[in-house]
Amino acid sequence: MKRNFLSISVAGAVMALSSLTVLSAGSVASASSLTSVKFVYDFPGPDMEIIPVVVAQKEGFFKANGLNVSVEFPPTTSSTTQLLTTGSGDIGFITTSDMAVAVQAKAPVISVANYSMSNNWGLFAKPGSTLTLAALKGKKIFSWGDTWTNAMIPFVLKKAHLKASDITIVTGSNDTPLLMKGTIDFTTSTTNYAIPGITEATKSAPVGIVGAAAGVPNVPVWVYAVTHNYANQHGKNVRAFLKAIKAATIWASNHQTKAVADFMAAYPKSGYSKFYSTKGWALTVPLLTNAAGKYFVQTNKQWTTLATALKSVKLLKSVPAPSTYYTNKFLP
């Protein structure tokens, strides 16, 4: 779902170390009065979706809520939940499908807020290509190999009336060069990552089929999550974190140029250009609120829809009560 896994991983490791160093140096004076919280991102390196956290750090929203938040980057795209359960992180950023499989594996985690409110995942192709569900047969489709992509592809096949053997799934660490070279026909991603990436490489917007048009359930993609233990013992921190993040998200939505500048300053070696981050954040902002303009709010319906959908493609064995997945009690 995100680009150039290898280079970003290396950059992420460097960034994580340097950000920790900067944070620890800069917060010596105020460290005693602030509560430390470790935020674990969903990807081994920073990208524009982390902007609300960066803005909350840089523009003082965390400090105003009594928090000193440090950012950790996981070693792989699927280790955030494990880092939370082992106590290496306090608040995590994961996909809703990660949340669903974590609950199935009896990992004691719970989603405390939606990050995005709708499903902007889909298939993308080079500008000028023909991309329809009918055109998928016999094609090479790129996958990041993450749980979300694994969960979504069966829905696309179902809608296209195809079997898994009708397409070739190519799993790798960077889709854009393969797409440009024609080694793959289509890639899978979300709009806020695919459009900036392909546009930057080709100077024109890609073609894509997204969300319902691709046959995927309309559910939020990313959530903030904590362990039950952390929620019970440090509910105050969770509430303060979400309050700060909400204020930062609104600020970053209203001051997009400054928000991206904050991100670029915090992670100058992220591997992403200003163009990519600016376009990506602009495409992310509309995803952050629901139809009523509200941030974060989770519903029974979204979790039941997701669990039912994942059960239908055999990624879940059963559909548990939606309350198993989430709580809205920490929302500001």
Contact assessment for residue 121 and residue 190, using Cβ atoms and an 8 Å cutoff? yes
The residue within the footprint of another protein, chosen from 134, 163, 181, 232 (CB under 8 A), is 181
- If the CB atoms of residues 60 and 182 are measured against another protein, the closer one turns out to be 182
Using CB under 8 A as the binding rule, whether residue 86 contacts another protein is answered as yes
How do beta strands 121-125 and 186-190 pair?
Answer: antiparallel
How do beta strands 35-40 and 91-95 pair?
Answer: parallel
Would you give the distance in Å from CA 44 to the centre of its chain? Answer: 12
Smallest separation (angstroms) from another protein to the CB of 209: 22
- If the CB atoms of residues 36 and 86 are measured against another protein, the closer one turns out to be 86
The residue within the footprint of another protein, chosen from 177, 228, 275, 329 (CB under 8 A), is 177
- If the CB atoms of residues 170 and 250 are measured against another protein, the closer one turns out to be 170
Query: In 3D, which of 122, 309, 123, 329 has the Cα closest to residue 217?
Result: 309
- Other CB atoms within a 10 A radius of the CB of residue 106 amount to 7
Contact assessment for residue 93 and residue 73, using Cβ atoms and an 8 Å cutoff? no
Q: Which residues contact 136 (CB under 8 A, 6 or more apart)?
A: 123, 156, 157, 160, 162, 166, 167, 186
- If the CB atoms of residues 76 and 204 are measured against another protein, the closer one turns out to be 76
Using CB under 8 A as the binding rule, whether residue 80 contacts another protein is answered as no
Half-sphere exposure of 81 (CA within 13 A, CB side): 22
CA distance 90 to 249: 20
Q: H or E stretch including 35?
A: strand 35-40
Using CB under 8 A as the binding rule, whether residue 317 contacts another protein is answered as no
| Selected range binding another protein among 56-64, 154-162, 171-179, 254-262, rule: CB under 8 A | 171-179
Using CB under 8 A as the binding rule, whether residue 81 contacts another protein is answered as yes
Smallest separation (angstroms) from another protein to the CB of 166: 13
Residues 38-77 that bind another protein (CB under 8 A): 76-77
CA distance 210 to 286: 15
- If the CB atoms of residues 85 and 253 are measured against another protein, the closer one turns out to be 85
CA distance 266 to 261: 8
Which residue has 């009594």 as its token pair? 66
Using CB under 8 A as the binding rule, whether residue 320 contacts another protein is answered as no
Using CB under 8 A as the binding rule, whether residue 314 contacts another protein is answered as no
Smallest separation (angstroms) from another protein to the CB of 195: 23
Using CB under 8 A as the binding rule, whether residue 171 contacts another protein is answered as yes
Order of strands across the sheet that contains 109-114: 67-72, 35-40, 91-95, 222-227, 109-114
Sign of CA dihedral 255, 256, 257, 259: positive
- Other CB atoms within a 10 A radius of the CB of residue 318 amount to 7
Using CB under 8 A as the binding rule, whether residue 172 contacts another protein is answered as yes
Smallest separation (angstroms) from another protein to the CB of 10: 9
User: How large is the greatest C-alpha to C-alpha distance in the chain, in angstroms?
Assistant: 62
Using CB under 8 A as the binding rule, whether residue 105 contacts another protein is answered as yes
Using CB under 8 A as the binding rule, whether residue 173 contacts another protein is answered as yes
- If the CB atoms of residues 189 and 253 are measured against another protein, the closer one turns out to be 189
Smallest separation (angstroms) from another protein to the CB of 130: 22
- If the CB atoms of residues 155 and 330 are measured against another protein, the closer one turns out to be 155
Using CB under 8 A as the binding rule, whether residue 168 contacts another protein is answered as yes
* Helix 256-266 with 235-254: angle, nearest 10 deg: 120
The residue within the footprint of another protein, chosen from 14, 20, 133, 169 (CB under 8 A), is 169
Q: Which residues bind another protein (CB under 8 A)?
A: 6, 76-79, 81-82, 85-86, 98, 101-102, 104-107, 140, 145-147, 150, 168-174, 177-178, 181, 183, 315
